[in-house]
Amino acid sequence: MPLKIATWNINSVRLRINSVCEFLQAHKPDVLCLQETKCADAHFPRNAFAEAGYPHLAIHGQKAYHGVAVASRLPMDVIDRKLFCDREDARHISVSVNNGSAAPVDIHNFYVPAGGDIPDSEKNWKFAHKLAFIDEMGDWLAKPERKRSLIVGDLNIAPLETDVWSHKQLLKVVSHTPVETESLERIRKAGRWVDVMRAMIPPEEKLFTWWSYRSPNWEASDRGRRLDHIWATPDLAETAKALTVLKQARNWEKPSDHVPVIATFG
């Protein structure tokens, strides 16, 4: 049975709940993973998801900042809400989804710290936190025996030269510095994770999921970055059938600066 997964940094789920519901109605993913929900669990718009046909929710949120959530029309169980770097900042949730196949699919939904503006751990505590988070995440995910698992979310790193609008100009910009890109690739390879987006779209092609609000004409300049990712264990990656980066969502009313990414497996 196919499984359609979507990931989207929504940049406030309550502010953009209408866009979320429209997206669900139009694209009908089985599971939607959201990041930067900026919403305490008690105020999460549960009714809107239920009315849209997604009654199964897993939430890890906090007031005003960060936050992750998973909405599903399939039954699922919460596995973990892991804290990294001993900080209660709601950046991870994992669930197990039953899509009627022989074994459930485990989904790890991440919102990796952005890291601030200065790529120097001594001068910028946010960057130091990001690097520490990545290292700890890597230790936890480096388990080659994992089966039927996905890592999705805003990892806030664009690892390849073609994942940014200008490799040369962004080498010293947070999200594309060598220490970040090399760390992320080390994590991926250590856990034998497959970068599903790049397995389906050749690495030679430019591929972006984020465009800054600071650009007055984001579409014309197209100065994007691929900060959002879908990784899969090899057994699941080999069943990948389709991939969509919904670039047009960046033009929606009150858009997030990220756009949804959708992958279908099975």
Residues 189, 152, 146: CA angle, nearest 5 degrees = 50
Q: What domain count does the chain have?
A: 1
Interatomic CA distance for residues 41 and 57, integer angstroms = 11
Query: Shortest CA distance to 196 belongs to which of 221, 225, 229, 218?
Result: 229
Tally of CB atoms within 10 A around 25: 10
Interatomic CA distance for residues 38 and 67, integer angstroms = 6
Interatomic CA distance for residues 260 and 5, integer angstroms = 10
Instruction: Please give the pLDDT value at position 144.
Output: 62
Domain limits for position 35: 3-265
For residue 218 the two structure tokens come to 């984001």
Instruction: Decide: helix, strand or coil at residue 118.
Output: coil
pTM (2 d.p.): 0.97
Burial label, 119 (beta-carbon count in 10 A; 0-12, 13-18, 19+): buried
Splitting the chain (266 residues) into consecutive groups of 10 residues, what average pLDDT does each group show? Answer: 95 98 98 98 98 98 97 93 95 92 89 98 98 94 82 98 98 98 95 96 98 91 97 96 98 97 96
Those residues whose C-beta lies under 8 Å from the C-beta of residue 195, and which sit 6 or more positions away, are 159, 188, 229, 230, 231
DSSP label of 249: G
CA separation, residue 197 to residues 44, 160, 183, 230 (Å): 30, 12, 19, 6
Instruction: Please give the pLDDT value at position 99.
Output: 79
Contact 228, 261 (CB under 8 A): yes
Interatomic CA distance for residues 28 and 5, integer angstroms = 9
- Check which CATH number belongs to the domain holding 37 and give it: 3.60.10.10
Instruction: Please give the pLDDT value at position 192.
Output: 92
